[in-house]
Amino acid sequence: MENRIKVHLAAVMIGFLLDLWIGDPEGWSHPVRAMGWLIERVEGMLRRIFPKTSAGQLAAGGVLAGTVLAVTGGLAAGVLAAAGWIHPALRFFAACIMSWQVLAARSLKTESMKVYKCLTDKDVESAREAVSRIVGRDTRLLSEEGIIRAAVETVGENTSDGVIAPLFYLFFFGPVGSLLYKAVNTMDSMVGYRNEKYLYFGRFPARLDDLVNLLPARLAGLFLIGAAFLLPGFDGKGAFRIWRRDRYCHKSPNSAHGEAACAGALGIRLAGPAWYFGKLCEKPFIGDETRPVETEDIRRVNRLMMGSAWLALGAGIVSVVWIKGI
User: Can you give the residue ranges of every domain in the chain?
Assistant: 2-324
Q: Residue 144: count other Cβ atoms within 10 Å of its Cβ.
A: 15
Asked if 115 and 127 count as a contact pair (C-beta separation under 8 A), the reply is yes
How far apart CA 217 and CA 237 sit, in angstroms, is 19
Element (H, E) at 285: strand 285-286
Q: State what percent of residues in the chain have pLDDT above 90.
A: 71
pTM: 0.92
Asked if 130 and 118 count as a contact pair (C-beta separation under 8 A), the reply is yes
Residue 285 pLDDT > 60, yes or no?
A: yes
Average of per-residue pLDDT across 170-177: 96
Q: Residue 67: count other Cβ atoms within 10 Å of its Cβ.
A: 17
Please state the separation of Cα 213 from the chain's center in Å.
Answer: 10
* Tens-digit pLDDT profile for residues 220-245: 999 999 999 999 999 999 999 999 99
How far apart CA 106 and CA 232 sit, in angstroms, is 21
How far apart CA 130 and CA 150 sit, in angstroms, is 11
Query: Based on the number of CB atoms within 10 Å of its own CB, is 20 exposed (0-12), middle (13-18) or buried (19 or more)?
Result: middle
Q: What's the pLDDT score for residue 323?
A: 87
* Tens-digit pLDDT profile for residues 297-306: 999 999 999 9
Cβ neighbors of 223 (< 8 A, separation 6 or more) are 159, 164, 308, 309, 311, 312, 315
Q: What's the pLDDT score for residue 273?
A: 59
User: Which of left, alpha, beta for 325 (phi over 0: left; psi -120 to 50: alpha)?
Assistant: left
